[in-house]
């Protein structure tokens, strides 16, 4: 029904557009004076008046509809029991809505509910009708106003321009507000978490076992339990171990790829090789995940066992290795660009001194491109730290404090997944721990990205 209403409004808008244009054409032929804007701007003028405010009204009504319905339908229940819990309210409401649709999940329906169902059907219909009336009259009325306002001296072109400005601004605001909102909700939940678990325990504790808290009744949590359950050091260690292994793969391979592409490959080869390498970064990580778990992990296990190590079937090495492959393009692509942008005159200067190609690369190009190359490393690290799926699938979930790459390991992101899989109580410290982890991760990657961008920027300024 909402869709139909929107279609109606749009139709009015389209109609308004035609009318506005027609009026402009008439004005133009009738008056000798010049009309400020092209005809179709007058069409847009009416269309904007018809569509935008009425849709805003529609949005507003829809936003409040749920609240109004709830208050009205549940009024009897609240009269009976003023302290009705939010969860009970939701349950009741769901029951009422289902019953109104003829879905009967409960054998007995109390007369109070039957009443409420009637009220529900009534208020829903009322609000729907009202919505139609209000929205359509807003659209119609404003179109009319706009139509009347069209005169030869109305600068509708400027109006359209300002409207677009506002539209673009609002859209960018949406993105910004989302970021801010996410940060604040993270921050808020994290603070709640730290009010139950001291931040020092979280940052320096050596034991991570939130499931313990979950198993016990969350009503009477022992503070000692909380202390011992949320030490994030094993997660930090696991994260850095796996990221380190990944970088051990990605840095040499990526850098050498970059050098090959920038200095040795023919332009043709470079043109098609680079996109292909970049595809590596576009493969869904879940695919890497099962590749890591099913192919690489067994190989690592066999190799390790042959070499006399005890290797668990899930290992940090397998996950780190595959992750390293995944982030090769981050290193190679960016480094390639940076090496490429070292001015040709430096290459010639070096060749003219009698340096060979590899000497030129080692002694002139890489040092000159170093800041940018480091920037690419940092971006790759922040990608590695944020990666989840590969670790979930290939490195295991055990939060052990270990530096042994053949051991299972777990990371910050993985634990967030583990914590939030399945049903959750929103208030339990376990759930909030996920927010704390998320915030930590966010801060770390933000810092890394920030540093990386600064480094790259500093570099870019040097040769311009």
**Binding positions for another protein, rule: CB under 8 A:** 266, 343, 345-356, 359, 363-364, 367-368, 462
- Minimum distance from CB of 242 to another protein (Å)? 35
Q: Toward another protein, which CB reaches closer, 79 or 464?
A: 464
Please say whether the beta carbons of 45 and 156 come within 8 A.
yes
H or E stretch at 226: helix 223-229
Q: Toward another protein, which CB reaches closer, 172 or 345?
A: 345
- Minimum distance from CB of 341 to another protein (Å)? 13
CA dihedral 150, 152, 156, 158 (to 10 degrees): -150
How many Å is the Cα radius of gyration of the chain?
32
Q: Toward another protein, which CB reaches closer, 53 or 371?
A: 371
Q: Toward another protein, which CB reaches closer, 8 or 273?
A: 273
Q: Toward another protein, which CB reaches closer, 252 or 349?
A: 349
Q: Which of 362, 364, 366 is nearest to 348 (CA)?
A: 364
Q: Identify the three-state secondary structure at position 107.
A: coil
Q: Classify the phi-psi angles of 428: left when phi > 0, otherwise alpha if psi is within -120 to 50, otherwise beta.
A: beta
Residues whose CB is less than 8 angstroms from the CB of residue 59 and which lie 6 or more positions away in sequence, other chains included:
none
Strand partners, 208: 230
- Minimum distance from CB of 344 to another protein (Å)? 9
Q: Toward another protein, which CB reaches closer, 87 or 344?
A: 344
Residues whose CB is less than 8 angstroms from the CB of residue 152 and which lie 6 or more positions away in sequence, other chains included:
27, 28, 31, 33, 34, 35, 36
- Minimum distance from CB of 348 to another protein (Å)? 7
d(CA 147, CA 157): 15
Q: Which of 228, 203, 225 is nearest to 215 (CA)?
A: 225
Which two tokens mark 153? 């001296």
- Minimum distance from CB of 173 to another protein (Å)? 42
Q: Toward another protein, which CB reaches closer, 221 or 346?
A: 346
**Which DSSP symbol is given to 219?**
G
Q: Toward another protein, which CB reaches closer, 120 or 459?
A: 459
Q: Toward another protein, which CB reaches closer, 260 or 351?
A: 351
Strand partners, 230: 208
- Minimum distance from CB of 269 to another protein (Å)? 12
Q: Identify the three-state secondary structure at position 365.
A: helix
Q: Toward another protein, which CB reaches closer, 375 or 438?
A: 375
Q: CA 172, 275, 392 angle in degrees (round to 5)? A: 70
Q: CA 42, 174, 156 angle in degrees (round to 5)? A: 10
- Minimum distance from CB of 352 to another protein (Å)? 4
Residue 306: C-alpha distances to residues 265, 295, 300, 406 (Å):
39, 17, 10, 13
Q: Toward another protein, which CB reaches closer, 118 or 359?
A: 359
- Minimum distance from CB of 458 to another protein (Å)? 13
- Cα 442 to chain centroid distance, Å, stands at 12
Q: Toward another protein, which CB reaches closer, 250 or 455?
A: 455
- Minimum distance from CB of 257 to another protein (Å)? 21
Query: DSSP states of 235-273 as a string?
Result: HHHHHHHHHHHHHHHHHHHHHHHHHIIIIIS-HHHHHHH
- Minimum distance from CB of 460 to another protein (Å)? 14
Please say whether the beta carbons of 426 and 365 come within 8 A.
no
d(CA 7, CA 135): 12
**Which DSSP symbol is given to 220?**
G
């Amino acid at each position: 029904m909402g869709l139909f209403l929107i279609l109606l409004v749009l139709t009015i808008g389209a109609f308004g557009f035609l009318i506005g244009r027609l009026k402009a054409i008439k004005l133009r032929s009738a008056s000798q004076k010049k009309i400020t804007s092209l005809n179709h701007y007058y069409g847009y003028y009416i269309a904007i008046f018809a569509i935008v405010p009425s849709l805003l009204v529609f949005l507003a009504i829809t936003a409040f509809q749920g609240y109004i319905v709830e208050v009205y339908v549940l009024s009897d229940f609240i009269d009976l029991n003023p302290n009705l819990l939010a969860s009970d309210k939701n349950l009741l409401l769901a029951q009422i809505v289902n019953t109104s649709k003829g879905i009967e999940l409960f054998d007995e329906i109390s007369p109070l509910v039957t009443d409420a169902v009637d009220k529900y059907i009534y208020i829903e219909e009322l609000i729907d009708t009202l919505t139609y009336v209000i929205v359509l009259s807003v659209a119609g009325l404003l179109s009319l106003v706009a139509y009347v306002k069209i005169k030869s001296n109305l600068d509708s072109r400027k109006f359209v321009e300002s409207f677009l400005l506002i539209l673009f601004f609002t859209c960018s605001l949406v993105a910004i507000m989302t970021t801010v909102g996410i940060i604040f909700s993270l921050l808020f939940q994290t603070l709640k978490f730290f009010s139950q678990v001291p931040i020092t325990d979280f940052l320096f504790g050596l034991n991570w076992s939130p499931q313990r808290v979950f198993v016990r009744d969350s009503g009477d949590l022992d503070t000692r339990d909380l202390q011992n359950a949320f030490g994030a050091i094993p997660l930090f260690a696991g994260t850095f171990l796996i990221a380190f292994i990944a970088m051990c793969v990605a840095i040499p391979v990526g850098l050498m790829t970059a050098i090959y592409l920038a200095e040795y490959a023919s332009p043709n080869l470079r043109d098609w090789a680079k996109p292909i390498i970049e595809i590596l970064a576009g493969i869904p990580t879940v695919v890497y995940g099962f590749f890591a778990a099913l192919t690489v992990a067994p190989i690592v296990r066999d190799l390790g066992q042959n070499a006399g190590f005890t290797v668990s079937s899930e290992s940090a090495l397998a996950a780190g290795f595959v992750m390293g492959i995944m982030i090769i393009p981050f290193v190679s692509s960016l480094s390639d660009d940076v090496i490429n942008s070292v001015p040709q005159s430096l290459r010639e200067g070096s060749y003219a001194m009698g340096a060979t190609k590899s000497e030129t690369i080692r002694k002139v190009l890489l040092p000159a491109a170093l800041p940018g190359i480091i920037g690419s490393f940092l971006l790759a690290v922040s990608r590695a730290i944020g990666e989840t799926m590969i670790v979930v699938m290939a490195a295991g979930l055990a939060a052990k404090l270990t530096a042994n790459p053949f051991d299972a390991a777990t990371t910050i992101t993985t634990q967030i997944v583990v914590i939030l899989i399945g049903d959750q109580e929103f208030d339990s410290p376990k759930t909030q721990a996920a927010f704390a982890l998320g915030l930590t991760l966010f801060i770390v990657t933000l810092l890394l990205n920030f540093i990386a961008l600064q480094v790259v920027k500093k570099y870019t300024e040097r040769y311009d």
